[in-house]
């Protein structure tokens, strides 16, 4: 089935045809994981679960960049905000994530200079406007945001701007998929691969999931028919016993991705072992600022003193990020942990699974 235009992906009749096809071929239970927070929200908003056969389960993976940020990094962000003559620039989702003893929101209420920006370029502009202060951009995200943040480091160096720093807590998706597909406690029959990340990486970046792990995969867009098409493809692959890396998002994703964005990202960052909340340390899954840009590395240039991190007792965010549990199975969900008073980041971020369940799941 070829779908070319965005309006078609919102066509109710097309969605009904895809739903019928899924029901026709569905004959055994399958468990599919979407690896993108935007997919999680789109699935809920569109009511996708309610139209699928009972045997098809959709579970959310570690696709929310704020949610997978380790507690030690959150504590480091808070410690940076407490330094003298420092302006912290951050995406809005990070503001309310609880650290061990505070949050960026609480620190801002205490008078710390913490500013919400919409892009790393905004943070660079702040650095230009305040040459007497260090401006630290909190680098959180996957391959989607890393190239633009790398571009600001290159721009700052070319302009001789020495007061612009980045704290890199970036994560890369393929190593996390490797962990999920090999973890004995994670039972997944197929992946709905992230659309935004795949625009940068390209669909070929996931080929190891087919060749090594024989895992059915589909790169998907975010409209209702995009997701239904991905489910149909995955169920077809599973029942045929022929795993593929199906690119069902060709209007945005190519096999090779965006070479220029990848080149910029690799020029500034290099792989490093990184801690993922609830998953642990994944080799080569983080991005560290290269030595030639050390003057822009906040982790090296600032005296950051971080307390021993304490994960909130009873928070099941880690198991939820691995698809082992769903939010209603967490003892804190809708009790101690709500969007107004979040305990864990999965309830804070707009892409967090707990926040999506809270907003859309009525049972």
Q: Are 139 and 170 in contact (CB under 8 A)?
A: yes
**Per-residue pLDDT, 13:** 84
Q: What percent of the chain has pLDDT over 90?
A: 85
pTM of this prediction? Answer: 0.91
Nearest to 136 by CA among 180, 93, 186, 81: 81
Question: For residue 356, is it left (φ>0), alpha (ψ between -120 and 50) or beta?
Answer: alpha
188 pLDDT above the threshold of 90: yes
**Rounded Cα distance, 9 and 3, in Å:** 7
Question: Strand, helix or coil at 142?
Answer: coil
Going by pLDDT thresholds of 50, 70 and 90, the confidence category of residue 307 is confident
Going by pLDDT thresholds of 50, 70 and 90, the confidence category of residue 259 is very high
**Per-residue pLDDT, 264:** 98
**Per-residue pLDDT, 6:** 59
Higher local confidence (pLDDT), 351 or 89: 89
**Rounded Cα distance, 208 and 61, in Å:** 18
**Per-residue pLDDT, 363:** 60
**Per-residue pLDDT, 59:** 93
Strands of 128-194 (E only): list them. 134-139, 164-168, 190-193
Q: Are 133 and 161 in contact (CB under 8 A)?
A: no
Going by pLDDT thresholds of 50, 70 and 90, the confidence category of residue 2 is very low
Q: How is residue 339 annotated by DSSP? A: S
Spell out the domain ranges in the chain. Answer: 69-171+257-301
Q: Name, in order, each residue with C-beta under 8 angstroms of 113's C-beta and a sequence gap of 6 or more.
A: 81, 86, 87, 88, 133
Q: Are 288 and 272 in contact (CB under 8 A)?
A: yes
C-alpha torsion sign, points 280, 286, 291, 297: negative
Nearest to 67 by CA among 257, 336, 315, 329: 315
Going by pLDDT thresholds of 50, 70 and 90, the confidence category of residue 311 is confident
Over the stretch 159-184, which tens digit does the pLDDT of each residue have? Answer: 999 999 999 999 999 999 999 999 98
250 pLDDT above the threshold of 50: yes
3 pLDDT above the threshold of 60: no
**Per-residue pLDDT, 5:** 56
CATH code, residues 69-171+257-301: 3.40.50.11740
**Per-residue pLDDT, 1:** 43
């Amino acid at each position: 089935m070829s779908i070319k235009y965005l309006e078609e992906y919102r066509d109710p009749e097309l969605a009904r045809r895809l739903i019928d096809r899924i029901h026709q071929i569905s004959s055994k239970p399958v468990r599919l994981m979407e690896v993108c927070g935007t997919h999680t929200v789109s699935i809920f908003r569109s009511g996708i679960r309610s139209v699928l056969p009972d045997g098809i389960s959709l579970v959310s993976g570690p696709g929310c960049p704020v949610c997978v940020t380790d507690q030690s990094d959150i504590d480091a962000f808070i410690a940076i905000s407490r330094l003298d003559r420092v302006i912290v620039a951050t995406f809005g989702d990070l503001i309310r994530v609880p650290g061990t003893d505070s949050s960026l929101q609480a620190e801002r209420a205490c008078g710390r200079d913490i500013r919400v920006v919409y892009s790393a370029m905004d943070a660079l502009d702040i650095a230009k406007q305040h040459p007497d202060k260090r401006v630290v951009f909190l680098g959180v995200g996957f391959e989607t945001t890393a190239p633009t943040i790398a571009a600001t480091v290159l721009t700052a160096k070319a302009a001789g701007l020495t007061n612009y720093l980045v704290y890199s807590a970036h994560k890369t998706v393929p190593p996390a998929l490797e962990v999920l597909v090999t973890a004995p406690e994670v039972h997944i029959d197929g992946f709905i691969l992230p659309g935004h990340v795949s625009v940068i990486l390209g669909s070929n970046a996931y080929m190891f999931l087919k060749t090594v792990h024989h895992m059915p995969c589909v790169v998907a867009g975010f409209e209702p028919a995009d997701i239904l098409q991905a489910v149909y493809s995955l169920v077809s692959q599973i029942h045929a016993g022929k795993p593929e890396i199906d690119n069902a998002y060709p209007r945005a994703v190519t096999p090779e991705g965006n070479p220029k964005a990848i080149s910029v990202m690799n020029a500034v960052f290099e792989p490093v072992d990184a801690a993922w909340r609830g998953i642990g340390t994944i080799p080569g899954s983080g991005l560290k600022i290269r030595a030639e840009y050390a003057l822009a590395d906040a982790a090296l240039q600032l005296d950051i003193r971080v307390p021993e991190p304490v994960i909130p007792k009873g928070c099941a965010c880690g198991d939820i990020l691995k698809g082992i549990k769903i939010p209603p199975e967490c003892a804190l969900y809708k009790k101690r942990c709500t969007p107004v008073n979040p305990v864990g980041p999965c309830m804070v971020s707009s892409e967090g699974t707990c926040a999506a369940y809270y907003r859309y799941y009525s049972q």
